[in-house]
Amino acid sequence: MRASIDVYMIVNGTKSLKRGEWQVRDATEIPKVAYEWIMRIRRETGYYGKDSIIEKVIVDGDKNITFEVKEIDEAPLKW
């Protein structure tokens, strides 16, 4: 299955939109794939935390998964 993901972020005070298409096994995998992509964006830009805010994450143009992605982002680290 392919999923089109739009990530809306504010990076260092500038609004940003990244679009991409990803191969996923099923719909439950999409929030994790979106979060991993956001982490790659953060590494590339060097902005984390308050300097890199997730505004909205949309799948296939209409399904809002922002809540699920933010849950992953805000979860405590597991050691």
Domains, the chain, with CATH or none: 2-74 (3.10.20)
Whether the per-residue pLDDT at 58 is higher than 80: the answer is: yes
Which residue matches tokens 């209409």? 62
Q: Which residue's structure tokens are 């500038």?
A: 14
**If pLDDT is split at 50, 70 and 90, which confidence band does 78 have?**
confident
Q: Which residues have CB under 8 Å from 37's CB, separation 6+?
A: 5, 7, 18, 20, 22
Give me the pLDDT at residue 79, please: 73
